[in-house]
Structure 1
Amino acid sequence: MRPLIFMFSLLFITSCTQVPEAVQPVSPFDLTQYLGKWHEISRLDHRFERDLTEVTAHYSIRPDGGVKVINRGLNSETNQWEEAEGKAYFVDAQTKGLLKVSFFGPFYGSYIVAKLEPDYSMALVIGPSLDYAWILARDPNPSAQLCQRYEGYAQDLGVKTSDWISVRACKI
């Protein structure tokens, strides 16, 4: 199994929990509404997710009060499912969408909810730099209008959306 464990850990080892200059974490943020299953709609390419399709993230509460993160995707080359388990904790107030996440030992990196629908149906997540960005949705095939709005917001922040990998199709 390709180490999906590196999904966030390698990119975050040196960057820890920094927030890119143009990015503001969502506030107010309600973790209980954010928990559950999310589908990856678009992402920037990185080795730790290369060839993965049908990617999902599932968030639940850990016994220590943190967040359990299960990332899962189908490797299109091997036709095998890959899964990585991580943990996340708030960096600041629990009403702010700024967390630190780790998939590898003591190394944490930024997980910034930069945009979020009021009903928690779609989110734009940014890592420690604008080179790490994901659009996540509750619906595996959200509306094209919603996808375009989030892509536009990411582009306004400085994310190179011309390099997006569309993991799932948006409804036309």
Structure 2
Amino acid sequence: MASIPQPFQSLCERDTQAEYAHLDDSTISVTNSCTTAQGMVSRLQGKAVVTDPESLAQFSVNFFAEPQPSDTPNYVVTYLDEDYSLAVVGNPDRSAGWVLSRTKTLSARQWEDAKSVLADRGYEFSHFQLTPHTVSH
């Protein structure tokens, strides 16, 4: 729904998605996709290794090579709504962040929750760019 844009997102114009799949007890696959200005779908695949087995909310994610076991996360789930409909994720130095949703739109309450969480976690909402999504009727 919103992100601090990263280099791999430079081609993305709309419909950004992240899909996760369980591979084993400590690894998940990550597939990021979006629609470019030319209407093409851009995809980037990677793997995430759990770095904190207690919380299961911190990962070492790598899109360009096999992730190496590490105690240092670069992807932290910092908020998860009770019904798993909204999540806020970022990296420890706050140079990357994402507001993720299971739907293509967020209610006013969800946006306020996301902004509040971002502020509480030390993020500046003005650094985030909203991601337009094609909503079919």
- TM-score, length-scaled by structure 2: 0.83
Match of 1:49 in 2: 9
- The total of aligned residue pairs comes to 128
Match of 1:132 in 2: 96
Matched, 1:144 2:108: yes
Q: Distance in 2 between matches of 1:67 and 1:122?
A: 19
Extract unaligned runs of 5+ from structure 1. Answer: 1-40
Which segments of structure 1 move beyond 6 Å, counting only runs of 4 or more?
A: none
* 129-138 vs 106-115, which moves further: 106-115
Greater share of residues in strand: 2
Greater share of residues in helix: 1
1:152 corresponds to which letter in structure 2?
A: S
Matched, 1:93 2:57: no
* 134-143 vs 101-110, which moves further: 101-110
Once the two structures are superposed, residues 18-55 of structure 1 have per-residue CA deviations (whole angstroms, 9 ceiling, x without a partner) of xxxxxxxxxxxxxxxxxxxxxxx000123221241200
Matched, 1:75 2:36: yes
Aligned partners of 1:141 and 1:168 also within 8 Å = no
2:62 corresponds to which letter in structure 1?
A: S
Q: Distance in 2 between matches of 1:148 and 1:51?
A: 28
Q: Distance in 2 between matches of 1:73 and 1:136?
A: 14
Q: 1:106 to 1:141 in 2, by over 3 A?
A: same
Q: Distance in 1 between matches of 2:101 and 2:118?
A: 15
Q: Secondary structure at the match of 1:104?
A: coil
- TM-score, length-scaled by structure 1: 0.67
Match of 2:124 in 1: 160
Matched, 1:122 2:86: yes
Q: Distance in 2 between matches of 1:65 and 1:98?
A: 11
Q: 1:107 to 1:95 in 2, by over 3 A?
A: closer
Match of 2:23 in 1: 62
Extract unaligned runs of 5+ from structure 2. Answer: none
Measured on the aligned residues, the alpha-carbon RMSD in Å equals 2.0
Tell me by how many angstroms 1:137 deviates: 0.5
